[in-house]
Amino acid sequence: MTQDANDTAILELCDITRRFGSRNVVDGLSIRLLAGQVTCLLGPSGCGKSTTLRIAAGVDQQTSGRVLINGETVSGDGHHLPPESRGIGLMFQDFALFPHLTVAKNVGFGISRDPNRDVRVRELLGKVGLEDFGDKYPHQLSGGEQQRVALARALAPRPAVMLMDEPFSGLDNRLRDTVRDATLELLKSEGTAVLMVTHEPEEAMRMADQIALMRDGRIVQSGAPYNIYNSPVDRRAAAFFSDIN
């Protein structure tokens, strides 16, 4: 059967389980990420979100299940492609830039052999509103500015998928909204599919096209933010969303 091209999953996690000792920290989890969409993996601390993201990235390996990117198995069935060969961008809470490199060199780091590198770096710095910052060093930038440079760096090689783990949690409240909006705008303009981990319902509501609500290593509900907010699957899901105002 043929599938509509718009329904082709860029990233697919199929029945992923990850056991630590005798405990399944991820327990039969499946997710499909569609082109150009932001999917938020949302759930309380300790439910297995980061472990899931690390498995998608390839920095950890599942106990069972498969990871597919663009329909190709990158992990499972006896083989495991390392993170750098997966065509993914990574952004974690600690988004450390190279302190000894300028902003422009940081952004161009992963595309050093691209003949259009300088054009791409300028394009991205423009998109994150830092066109005049190319010659500065990371320590001369605010936290929010550094965060935007880190995002530009991750997007420079045009990854099909961005994996982000609580990327805004290090920013203070005042900055966070602005950086979130700028991030979302850039991701949309690049057309990148995103899997973003967060424990904050408000953040997921704000950024996601799809929310996958996670608990005890499983997805308990997934769908559009509005639907999840309005029709939570059970009382625990309702309570989790209840402190959004």
Should residue 50 be labelled a site residue for Mg ion when binding is judged by CB under 5 A?
yes
Q: How far is the CB of 196 from Mg ion (least distance, A)?
A: 12
Binding site for ligand ADP (CB under 6 A): 20, 25, 43, 45-51
Instruction: Identify which of residues 48 and 138 has a Cβ nearer to ligand ADP in the complex.
Output: 48
Instruction: Identify which of residues 44 and 82 has a Cβ nearer to Mg ion in the complex.
Output: 44
Q: Which stretch binds Mg ion (CB under 5 A): 15-23, 50-58, 104-112, 226-234?
A: 50-58
Distance, in Å, from the CA atom of 69 to the CA atom of 57, rounded to the nearest integer, reads 10
Q: Which helix (H) or strand (E) element contains residue 187?
A: helix 173-190
Distance, in Å, from the CA atom of 34 to the CA atom of 9, rounded to the nearest integer, reads 5
Instruction: Identify which of residues 49 and 120 has a Cβ nearer to ligand ADP in the complex.
Output: 49
Q: How far is the CB of 231 from Mg ion (least distance, A)?
A: 26
Strand 9-20's sheet: what is its strand order?
23-34, 9-20, 64-69, 72-76, 79-80
48 binds, among ligand ADP, Mg ion, none (CB under 5 to 8 A by kind): ligand ADP
Residue whose Cβ sits closest to Mg ion? 50
Radius of gyration of the chain (CA): 18
Instruction: Identify which of residues 37 and 50 has a Cβ nearer to Mg ion in the complex.
Output: 50
Distance, in Å, from the CA atom of 27 to the CA atom of 63, rounded to the nearest integer, reads 10
Helix ranges, 80-172 (H): 103-108, 117-127, 143-155
Q: Which residues bind Mg ion (CB under 5 A)?
A: 50
